[in-house]
């Protein structure tokens, strides 16, 4: 049982990051879906590395440079997986007239105007929010935001259907899909970093992040019929930004 859980965690780590690691000795169909329960732990690893870069850089440079370096670190660790999903989703939902055409645009490797604008604005807002806060507060917010954002994507996997027509893209769920228990486990594993923040700060962050993620998920449900791998990336990015904005809106005691 423990070996299987470790395999699932490493499967999640391989899927969500570019961190070098040995290949799994064995791989079973559906493992990526079963591994979603550990997506928040991988997110916390990414957020923790980003927070370390931010806090360390703040000793040398001003807050804006530290925030930019921390954001760049998270992009490098994940290979821009979620940012790519955000750009593709913005292009597809913004540029297509039918569900089929929107999905076709999402699968196109080229990035259009909507994608560039969404990606640029989201990254700029992250840097602006992080750069305007004390380094340790911003670091704690990063740790919480990254884990909770991955949990939000898992919840969307559970609550909305898989939408793609034809060949699957970055994400294709197993036949059984994400179970309620896996989604609940993901949310539970994502919650502990909130203890590092004042209660009202964490609550504001969760509320804003959930609202931002819900807008993306509901829009995708209406326009393409559910989620895709790109939509999940957009959900993650939307929750992450919403959390940071919501948490930063609460004055530090």
- Domain spans of the chain, in order of start: 40-248
Q: Is the pLDDT of residue 230 over 80?
A: yes
- CA separation (Å) from 121 to 13, 34, 96, 228, 251? 27, 33, 21, 22, 24
Q: How far apart are CA 97 and CA 113, in angstroms?
A: 16
pLDDT digit string, tens, across residues 2-52: 778 888 999 999 999 999 877 777 766 688 899 999 999 999 999 999 999
- Report CA dihedral (211, 139, 81, 44) to the nearest 10 degrees: -90
Average of per-residue pLDDT across 65-86: 97
**Which residues are within 8 A (CB) of 83 and not within 5 positions of it... i.e. 6 or more apart?**
75, 119, 122, 123, 233, 237
Average of per-residue pLDDT across 116-125: 97
pLDDT confidence tier of residue 124, bands split at 50, 70 and 90: very high
Q: Is the pLDDT of residue 207 over 80?
A: yes
pLDDT digit string, tens, across residues 144-176: 999 999 999 999 999 999 988 755 556 667 767
Q: Is the pLDDT of residue 253 over 80?
A: no
Beta bridge partner(s), residue 126: none
How many other CB atoms are there within 10 angstroms of residue 157's CB atom?
26
Average of per-residue pLDDT across 199-225: 97
Q: What pLDDT sits at residue 173?
A: 73
Q: To the nearest whole percent, how much of the chain has pLDDT over 90?
A: 82
pTM given for the model: 0.95
């Amino acid at each position: 049982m423990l070996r299987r859980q470790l395999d699932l965690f490493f499967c999640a780590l391989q899927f969500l990051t570019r961190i070098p690691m040995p290949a799994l000795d064995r791989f079973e169909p559906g493992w990526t879906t079963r591994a979603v329960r550990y997506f928040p732990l991988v997110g916390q690893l990414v957020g923790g590395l980003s927070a370390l870069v931010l806090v360390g850089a703040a000793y040398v440079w001003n807050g804006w440079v530290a925030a930019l370096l921390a954001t760049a670190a998270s992009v490098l660790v994940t290979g821009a997986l979620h940012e790519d999903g955000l750009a593709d989703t913005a292009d597809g939902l913004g540029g297509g007239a039918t569900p089929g055409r929107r999905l076709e645009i999402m699968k196109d490797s080229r990035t259009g105007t909507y994608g560039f604008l969404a990606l640029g604005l989201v990254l700029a807002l992250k840097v602006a929010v992080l750069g305007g806060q004390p380094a340790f507060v911003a670091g704690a917010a990063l740790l919480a935001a990254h884990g909770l954002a991955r949990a939000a994507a898992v919840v969307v996997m559970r609550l909305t259907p898989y939408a793609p027509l034809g060949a699957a893209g970055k994400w294709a769920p197993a036949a059984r899909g994400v179970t309620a228990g896996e989604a609940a486990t993901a949310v539970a594993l994502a919650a502990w970093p909130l203890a590092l923040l004042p209660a009202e700060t964490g609550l504001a962050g969760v509320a804003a992040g959930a609202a931002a993620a819900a807008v993306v998920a509901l829009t995708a449900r209406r326009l393409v019929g559910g989620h895709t791998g790109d939509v999940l990336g957009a959900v993650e990015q939307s929750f992450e930004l919403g959390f940071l904005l919501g948490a930063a809106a609460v004055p530090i005691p």
